[in-house]
Structure 1
Amino acid sequence: MEFDRDEAIGKAIAVFADHGYEGSSTAELLARMGIGRQSLYGAFGDKKRLFLQALERYNAGSLAQTEAALAVEDSPRAAIEAALLAFAVGPDVTPEAGCLGVGSIAEFGRSDPDVNAINDAAGRRFKAAFAARLADGVAAGQFAPDLDPEAGAEFLLTVRAGLKVAARDGAGLDRLRSAARLALRGLDV
């Protein structure tokens, strides 16, 4: 049976984001993806390889969304706020659905080298993107002159993860925006 591989991975992302790796049964994955067991094994190898492909794709999409938000605003501060909230803004956004990246870290910790490699690579890119905009903000006088952009980027990644968890718990955009702005004040002059 022919199927759209990209569409199937997109549906797998939704299942894994909702239930985690262990909580996602093969039967539910097959039903949501609209494929048979043989197609799963033939196209993806097994549930673990499907999860890793889904995580890579999710992280790539999340990174693209964040980098786009960082590039839109002229003000580094506004760009960083937009990037922190990018996952919760837009017509097709469902932030309460959960973040596959944060979920995978919560589920696996540092126990799985394959998951670590995917998340570590994404983390380096997220950190570099935030650090670059923080450096711009320091140069523009929007943040403390002695702010270390690398340390600030680590802080923002922690804030971003917390915002995603809060959204999963039902926090609306106003509450998320308020938390993001409070965090940004911690970087002020």
Structure 2
Amino acid sequence: MARPSEFDRDEAIASAIRVFARHGYEAASTSDLIEGMGIGRQSLYGAFGDKRRLFLEALRRYSDGSLALMNEALAGGSPREAIEAALLVGLGDAEDLETGCLGVGSIVEFSRTDAEVNALNDAAATLVVAAFAARVKDGIAAGAFDPGLDPQAAGRMLLTLRSGLKVAARGGAGEDELRQAARLALRGLS
């Protein structure tokens, strides 16, 4: 009979996200993960199987959390205000490397070489584009955005911008600089 886990799985995954965000998948050693998660080697393998399974679970959890933050931001204010808020929420920063975007990091690290990572990132991207496209449609209906816009194309552009903003934040861009970039893009929707 298996022994019950002696750690909080949610906390362990949150800690693994930070380790993978700091180091990336390949460079995160088992020792880094054990230390960062505060669990033993046997617990890591018993609970998660291996480093790869842990990474996939961490990526899934990160993507779900990031989408929840975006959806919360998209729910408030005018379409323009909501999109700006969603572009800027949870970007991370250069001072805390553990706040980096696990999704963008995995795309850079794996490119299109891993089917499971691709599937997770593609599903997350589809949801982000749909969420942005819905608010773009709201903006068109309200007369705030160009009626000739393709909401799906605008949603893809906003996803690309958000990914770039995450990289810029990790590279040291400040809040004002990031907000200016978001606002410039939003002017293009008018």
Give the TM interval when normalised to the shorter protein. Answer: over 0.9
Question: 1:34 deviation in Å?
Answer: 0.8
1:164, CA displacement in angstroms? Answer: 0.2
- 1:87 matched to 2:85: no
* TM-score scaled by length of structure 1: 0.94
Matched, 1:38 2:42: yes
SS in structure 1 at match of 2:75: helix
Which residue in the other structure is 1:70 paired with?
74
Gaps of 5+ in 2: none
Q: How far apart, in 2, do the equivalents of 1:136 and 1:30 lie?
A: 46
Q: Is the 8 A contact 1:167 1:176 kept in 2?
A: yes
The count of corresponding residues between Structure 1 and Structure 2 is 182
Could you tell me the TM-score, scaled by structure 2's length?
0.93
Q: Distance in 2 between matches of 1:185 and 1:106?
A: 29
Between the two proteins, what is the percent identity of the paired residues?
67
What letter is aligned with 1:95? D
Shift in Å, 1:95: 3.1
Q: How does 1:1-189 map to 2 (within 5 A)?
A: 2-73=6-77, 75-88=78-91, 94-96=92-94, 97-188=99-190
Amino acid at match of 2:83: I
State the alpha-carbon separation in 2 of the partners of residues 37 and 105 from structure 1. Answer: 27
For 2:180 and 2:27, the matched residues in 1 are separated by: 32
Letter in 2 for 1:86: V
Q: Deviations over 1:45-69 (max 9, x none)?
A: 0000000000000000000000000
Equivalent residue, structure 2, for 1:91: none
- In structure 1, runs of 5+ residues without a counterpart are 89-93
Please report the RMSD computed on the Cα atoms of aligned residues, expressed in angstroms. 1.0
